[in-house]
Chains A and B, each alone.
Chain A
Amino acid sequence: MLDKLFYKEKGLFLQSLHPLAALAYLGTLLALALAVTNPLYLLGILLVVALAIRAADGLEAWESYLKIALFMMVLIMIINPLVVHAGKTIIWHGPRVPVFGRLTISLEAICYGAAMGVRLLDIISVFCLYNLMVHPDKALNLFSRFAGKSVLVISLATRMFPAMIRELESIRGVQQMRGVDFGNGSTKEKVRKYSSLVNILLLSSLEGSLEIAESMQARAFGSGPRTCYTRNLWRPRDVLCLSGSAGAMGAGIWGLLHSFGSYTYYPQLDYLISGPGTVAVLLIVVLCLSVPVIIDWGWRRWHYLKSKI
């Protein structure tokens, strides 16, 4: 059930990108989602991410992310107008409530809440996309040149995680059979029961870590300066995708400096499209960000393209 959230090698185009190109792409998406405020831009990014997720064969996985994201989005849309009173267009005067003061719901606050909800959706979806298209080893590999030890620790931790979950499950069963009832008792008792679970896991893991250390020692770990094994290939497709990301980033920054892409919500909603510049920059950003998706589309259809990039 959980495994569909993790990376799976499916031989897809997006998975074949060099981790540098892939991370640059994801980084651009994330940075833009955080920087722009215009709802059209936020929706544009969402569209691109959704297409990319589809290209990464991950609509099913996205669904589980969406459940959480949509719930939080609704929450933001409800809470924001309740606590923010900056909007001018009041659509409802409510009663006086102790903490919030007089409830006044403004159109601006609702819109702002909605836009921030979309931004949250963007960010969560980018993380979903990351899990779908970047092999964690490859990403770590990129950094292991400068931070070898930290990368190894992260890798060990990720490797141990599924095994520890399995072990915890087994320990829980054993404790149940020894008469520990996890369903009953006061909170304090429950904490005690669960802490002994973790205690057993910790003791076993400590013993295990010694064995792992021994195996690492036997394979010459720490015997001198290390080198770094990498199998990442740099192909024309990486150049294309990297240029796409760079173009989107450039256009985005230029747009923000010339106040396209940003949007004023308070005290009164601004025009959504303040001029042709807004649309032009938006189109350029979306187009540049779509480069990997477009190539993927072609890659699936034409052998010629496959062999050339």
Chain B
Amino acid sequence: MGVAALALFKIENLIYYYPGAEKPALSGINLGIEEGEFVLVAGASGSGKSSLARVLAGLIPDFYGGRFGGRVYFQGREMRRIDRRKLARQVGMVFQDPEKQLVLTGVEAEIAFGLENLGLPQKEMFRRVAEVISFLGLTELRQEFTATLSGGQKQKLVLAAVLAMQPQVLILDEPTSQLDPVAAEDFFNLVKRLNEEMGFTIILVEQRLERCFHLADRVVIMEEGRVVQDGTPDQSARWAAGRGGSLIPPVARFFSALGFSSLPVTVKEGRRQLRQLFSGWSLGGGPDFRKAPDSPLTGRTPLVGVKNMWFTYANGREALQGINLKVNAGEFVAILGENGAGKSTLLKIMVGLLQPGRGKVMVKGNDISKNNGQHPGRQMAYISQNPNDYLFQDTVEDELLFTLKNFGMEDDGIIDELLEELQIGGYRRVNPRDLSSGERQRVALASVLVTRPELLVLDEPTRGLDYRLKAGLGSFLAGRAAAGAGVVLVTHDVEFAAEYASRVIMMFAGRLVSDGAKHEILGHSVFYSTQIGKLCRGFGDGILTFGEALEKIGPLLSGKTVARAGTLK
């Protein structure tokens, strides 16, 4: 009884079906969470981690309905018997997309919204709003409209609105999936402070593990609605490493692949471990990845050529300044840069959706910058940030046929081919709006690829995807590039760019800052580098990806460990 009384949450034999679902979203879950703990819930898309978060927040089954079995206790009382208002005072939840959580037009009113719902007196509301605004440093934004805030500021505001209700527990469901890396980092630092300095109990559901693995006291891993691993970050990292390691940070994955028993989860720990092993060694030889790959395709007419191009928005903001750029067939180009650097604008101009103010945009030698409103449609495929922008037909097949029909083309087997290749063949007759977000994105991709375009342009396609889906997308796009198409994408995900792209462009404030082969650009950057790159800096230069690190450092290290093990005996 003594131990049970300590647990803040206690879940016993939980099973849950969403309304109309045949498969349970959660099943056989037994879990206890103690006060003040920082619990990271990891797992692939569809593993039930978001559903678990909603159970803990009291939204399942209250808000969703469905069939529910087992018991969930909060502070020793069965959750379904707790008054909703009381529960909301104790448990706060932040969701994925800040855009879909803000209700009011003004910042201050938004923070007060939950307090009004709780029916607090005016004086108490004043105090709490003031406290939260000062704690989160939102004073400057107090009078702003929510619509004018950046993504990171919006998510901070959502957090403020929840914190004002002074909950004991904070449940975060992929809170940074829609944010850029810098804003995400800020957000996690804040969450860490809330846990360490304010004693909040934190339950964080995440896919981008390299940023939060080390913050947690405990890592719970889910698969197909079940908890398959529950332990300290170290234990869970080792467990996941044994299962292929897609859920753990690249650093831990690297050491696990080399057969180490203790797995570092941060760059700092990893480098310490490397330093100990390499003391007195200098690395030489091995393949140098920084050497630019031969490109037999130069000299031909580029797929897209942008010459001294400028673009100014109607409000006078110069979004692009003097851009020069060529993309050849067979290239896989990743464009990196912070928000507002002009990346999306550049993409839109490349596909002809926007007309440049000055300069030329050549598509296979034809200038498209002048023909207003005309777009080189079928030669180019464009995927916007939101796959939902594509989906409105009754079935997946109709989505593909819609594009074909608009260009007056026939289905010559391309539909079968694409559905097969993108692994959505089984959903041919399904309404695309019934699919998961990863599947929706693949339908959107298929709907623009039916014209066999020579250039693929994608705006932040990796946003919100888990490791597995990202890997699938990356190899699909790399395959397209290898088959002779040009691929250009904007991403915030350096790891993704390093793994799959051949060339990297960095943008800052409307200009191209650097452009070259990926090892040349990312290998020289301190901040825009991969976790593996940061780990190996100084030990072996030009290493960016897990595979390269294994290839170059792996043999040396394993030799070394064997030698050590020998001397120890």
Q: Which residues of A contact B392 (CB under 8 A)?
A: 196, 199-200, 203
- Is A12's CB within 8 Å of the partner chain B? no
Q: A159-B146, A220-B118, A226-B116 are in contact. Are A171 and B389 (CB under 8 A)?
A: yes
Q: Binary interface profile of A, 198-209, with partner B (CB < 8 Å = 1, else 0)?
A: 011001100110
A218 close to B406 (CB less than 8 A)? no
Chain A residue nearest to B128 in the complex (CB) = A229
- Is B104's CB within 8 Å of the partner chain A? yes
Q: A200-B392, A203-B388, A219-B114 are in contact. Are A176 and B377 (CB under 8 A)?
A: yes
B121 close to A227 (CB less than 8 A)? yes
Q: Binary interface profile of B, 102-121, with partner A (CB < 8 Å = 1, else 0)?
A: 11111011001111111111
CA–CA, A207 and B447, complex, Å: 21
CA–CA, A221 and B103, complex, Å: 11
Q: A159-B102, A178-B406, A226-B119 are in contact. Are A219 and B113 (CB under 8 A)?
A: yes
- Is B260's CB within 8 Å of the partner chain A? no
Q: Which residues of B contact A230 (CB under 8 A)?
A: 122
Q: Binary interface profile of B, 452-468, with partner A (CB < 8 Å = 1, else 0)?
A: 00000000000000000
B95 close to A226 (CB less than 8 A)? no
Q: Which residues of B contact A213 (CB under 8 A)?
A: 63
Q: Which residues of B contact A152 (CB under 8 A)?
A: 103
| A228 → B minimal CB distance (Å) | 6
B293-331 at interface with A (beta carbon < 8 Å): 314-315
- Is A180's CB within 8 Å of the partner chain B? yes
A227 close to B119 (CB less than 8 A)? yes
Q: A1-B314, A159-B146, A212-B100 are in contact. Are A231 and B377 (CB under 8 A)?
A: no
Total residue contacts A-B, CB cutoff 8 A = 167
Among listed B9-17, B378-386, B500-508, B522-530, interface-contacting one: B378-386
A174 close to B63 (CB less than 8 A)? no
CA–CA, A71 and B121, complex, Å: 51
CA–CA, A70 and B143, complex, Å: 34
Q: Which residues of B contact A224 (CB under 8 A)?
A: 85, 119
Q: Which residues of A contact B120 (CB under 8 A)?
A: 227
- Is A135's CB within 8 Å of the partner chain B? yes
Q: A179-B377, A227-B116 are in contact. Are A163 and B147 (CB under 8 A)?
A: yes
CA–CA, A231 and B107, complex, Å: 13
Please indicate which of the listed interface residues B63, B147, B378 has the most CB atoms of chain A within 10 Å of its own CB.
B147
B373 close to A214 (CB less than 8 A)? no
CA–CA, A150 and B109, complex, Å: 16
- Is A90's CB within 8 Å of the partner chain B? no
Number of interface residues of A (CB under 8 A): 54
Please indicate which of the listed interface residues B92, B100, B162 has the most CB atoms of chain A within 10 Å of its own CB.
B100
A178 close to B388 (CB less than 8 A)? no
- Is B52's CB within 8 Å of the partner chain A? no
CA–CA, A162 and B99, complex, Å: 11
Q: Binary interface profile of B, 377-413, with partner A (CB < 8 Å = 1, else 0)?
A: 1101110111011111000000000110011000000
- Is A60's CB within 8 Å of the partner chain B? no
Give the top 9 A-B pairs by smallest Cβ distance, nearest first: A179-B406, A220-B88, A229-B112, A219-B114, A211-B100, A137-B106, A215-B101, A223-B85, A220-B117
Which positions in B face A, CB cutoff 8 Å? Answer: 57, 59, 62-63, 83-85, 88-89, 92-93, 95, 97, 99-106, 108-109, 112-122, 125-126, 129, 143-144, 146-147, 158, 161-162, 165, 314-315, 348, 351, 353, 373, 375, 377-378, 380-382, 384-386, 388-392, 402-403, 406-407, 433, 447-448, 451
Which positions in A face B, CB cutoff 8 Å? Answer: 1, 3, 9, 135-137, 141, 152, 155-156, 158-159, 162-163, 167, 170-171, 173-174, 176-180, 182-183, 196, 199-200, 203-204, 207-208, 211-231
